[in-house]
Amino acid sequence: LYNVNIELGGDFRKYVKGSVDEAWYPKEIKKALSGERFVKEYQVDYKKYRRKVIRVTFNPIKGKKNEILGAAMFVVDFTTQRQTEEKANSLLSNLTAVLESTKDRIFAVDQKLNYLIFNKSHEERAFKSWGKKIKVGDNVLKVFPKSYYPNLE
């Protein structure tokens, strides 16, 4: 990434000098050197690795007496996961738009008859008919009278 030979014990600041990482790495390393453990995501754009998302875990390295000896960074390419999340969010938005585009009552439940999802029409019907506000996770049989769904028990 940095077009240098990285050596054990080498000065990391020299390795990142002039790179896109020079702007943010020193600040984050200082934070880890102060004893803080944290995770951050960055959008990076290297010559060999275009438009990547990386997740970096920063950890202080402690000695036997709990003194801080250094900092470790664990870098994971998170690009595929981020793209998958974006696709899933897009699909969910489209599904929600379809569910809400009809006045028909639409809902889905799990094997225990707990709501997984429902549209506004179903939510309004539950409130108008039985005065109950429903939420994901509620059980259908506790919202609607058992006579309404006699074959579900």
CB atoms within 10 A of CB 4: 13
Q: Is pTM, for the whole model, over 0.75?
A: no
- Give the confidence band of 32 by pLDDT, cuts at 50, 70, 90: very high
Q: Is the model's pLDDT at 31 over the cut of 90?
A: yes
> Does residue 153 have a pLDDT over 70?
no
Phi, psi of 96 (to 5 degrees): -65, -40
Sequence-distant (6+) residues with CB within 8 A of 67 are: none
Distance between CA atoms of residues 31 and 60, nearest Å: 9
Residue 83: band (very low, low, confident or very high) from pLDDT cuts 50, 70, 90: very high
* Banded model confidence at residue 1, pLDDT cuts 50, 70, 90: low
Q: Span 106-130, mean pLDDT?
A: 92
Rounded CA-CA distance 123/137 in Å is 13
C-alpha separations of 139 from 39, 52, 99, 106, 107 in Å = 37, 42, 20, 15, 12
Q: Rounded CA gap, 35 and 62, in Å?
A: 9
Q: How far is CA 24 from the centre of its chain?
A: 22
DSSP E strands: which ranges in the chain?
Answer: 38-44, 52-62, 68-77, 107-109, 115-118
